[in-house]
């Protein structure tokens, strides 16, 4: 069966047991808006409810996977916009859907993956990256803190020292290193990432579904993930409204370096 749905910013296709979600906001480097999170979350939830979907593949159009959360959305909350703040209450629907997801997830990453573009990979079961991909989680540079339970999942995957350097120093990891550290299954030439990931997704879709689902559930502590996401969300929300975050977002909008020298601790 094939099918197409979704908003124009998130393309949703279904064929041969694989639901493919394609980030499609290339002019803004696939920065993720609230509408895109909602579309992605609903797609993941619909896949969980549809036995015909055996695997989800996440990929992106344009020259990069994603520049992470839309910084103007963050800036609205930081500036005290009531509607934007209310829309964030209760958490990010994509993160919650990833935390609860039952369908195996595969990711194809090319170009840059920033922030949630990296932390979402920790919820994917198979990850293929371009050799020259660049993964960054610059939460602290934006006066924010990690989300998506990445504060436990990333150090568990790559070790505390590397995770701290990624979170706090914003150190970039290239595709080849990501594969070496176990953040990805393999790094391949950029032109081959999608095909490699699709082949893997189809292979997962062809396996006995109950055995796959049980194996995946046994490998993930969904309760611990949900609890950590909640803990992170409390801090993230508070930081988002902090003077240091306002300075970080203003600096991005004004295309200048942030100045945290006056920030109180």
| Strand-strand pairing, 112-114 and 55-60 | unpaired
Residue with tokens 């958490």: 91
Q: Does 67 bind ligand COA (CB under 6 A)?
A: yes
Number of Cβ within a 10 Å radius of residue 8 = 8
Q: Does 88 bind ligand COA (CB under 6 A)?
A: no
**Cβ atoms of residues 99 and 229 within 8 Å:** yes
Q: From the list 104, 115, 175, 258, which residue makes contact with ligand COA (rule: CB under 6 A)?
A: 115
Q: Does 72 bind ligand COA (CB under 6 A)?
A: yes
**Which CB atom, from 18 or from 71, has the smaller least distance to ligand COA?**
71
For CA atoms 64, 68, 72, 73, the dihedral sign is positive
Q: Which residues contact 16 (CB under 8 A, 6 or more apart)?
A: 202, 205
Q: Does 178 bind ligand COA (CB under 6 A)?
A: no
How deeply is 229 buried, as exposed, middle or buried, from its count of CB atoms within 10 A (0-12, 13-18, 19+)? Answer: buried
Q: Does 113 bind ligand COA (CB under 6 A)?
A: no
Q: Output the residue with the shortest Cβ distance to ligand COA.
A: 115
Q: Does 111 bind ligand COA (CB under 6 A)?
A: no
**Which CB atom, from 71 or from 122, has the smaller least distance to ligand COA?**
71
**Which CB atom, from 31 or from 58, has the smaller least distance to ligand COA?**
31
Which alpha helices (DSSP H) does 141-208 contain, by range?
Answer: 150-158, 160-168, 175-181, 193-205
Number of Cβ within a 10 Å radius of residue 83 = 9
Number of Cβ within a 10 Å radius of residue 116 = 24
Q: Does 28 bind ligand COA (CB under 6 A)?
A: yes
Q: From the list 14, 69, 151, 239, which residue makes contact with ligand COA (rule: CB under 6 A)?
A: 69
**Which CB atom, from 112 or from 194, has the smaller least distance to ligand COA?**
112
Q: Does 138 bind ligand COA (CB under 6 A)?
A: yes
| Strand-strand pairing, 134-136 and 173-174 | antiparallel
Q: From the list 17, 62, 68, 146, which residue makes contact with ligand COA (rule: CB under 6 A)?
A: 68
Q: From the list 139, 167, 233, 249, which residue makes contact with ligand COA (rule: CB under 6 A)?
A: 139
Q: Does 167 bind ligand COA (CB under 6 A)?
A: no
Residues near ligand COA (CB under 6 A): 28-29, 31, 67-72, 112, 114-115, 138-139, 142
């Amino acid at each position: 069966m094939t099918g197409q749905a979704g908003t124009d910013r998130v393309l949703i296709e279904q064929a041969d047991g694989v639901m493919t979600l394609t980030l499609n906001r290339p002019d803004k480097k696939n920065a993720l808006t609230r509408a895109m999170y909602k579309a992605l979350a609903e797609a993941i939830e619909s896949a969980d409810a549809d036995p015909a979907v055996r695997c989800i593949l996440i990929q992106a159009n344009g020259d990069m996977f994603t520049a992470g959360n839309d910084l103007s959305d963050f800036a609205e909350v930081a500036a005290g916009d009531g509607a934007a703040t209310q829309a964030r209450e209760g958490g990010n629907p994509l993160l919650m859907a990833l935390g609860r997801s039952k369908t195996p997830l595969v990711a194809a990453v090319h170009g840059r993956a920033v922030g949630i573009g990296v932390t979402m990979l920790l919820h994917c079961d198979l990850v293929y990256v371009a050799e020259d991909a660049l993964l960054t989680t610059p939460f602290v540079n934006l006066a924010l803190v990690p989300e998506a339970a990445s504060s436990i999942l990333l150090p568990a995957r790559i070790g505390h020292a590397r995770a701290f350097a990624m979170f706090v120093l914003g150190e970039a990891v290239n595709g080849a290193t990501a594969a070496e550290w176990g953040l990805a299954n393999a790094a391949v030439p950029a032109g081959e990432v999608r095909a490699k990931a699709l082949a893997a997704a189809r292979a997962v879709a062809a396996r006995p579904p109950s055995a796959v689902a049980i194996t995946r559930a046994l490998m993930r502590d969904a309760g611990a993930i949900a609890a950590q996401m909640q803990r992170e969300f409390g801090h993230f929300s508070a930081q988002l409204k902090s003077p240091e975050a306002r300075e970080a977002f203003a600096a991005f909008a004004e295309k200048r370096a942030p100045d945290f020298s006056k920030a109180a601790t």
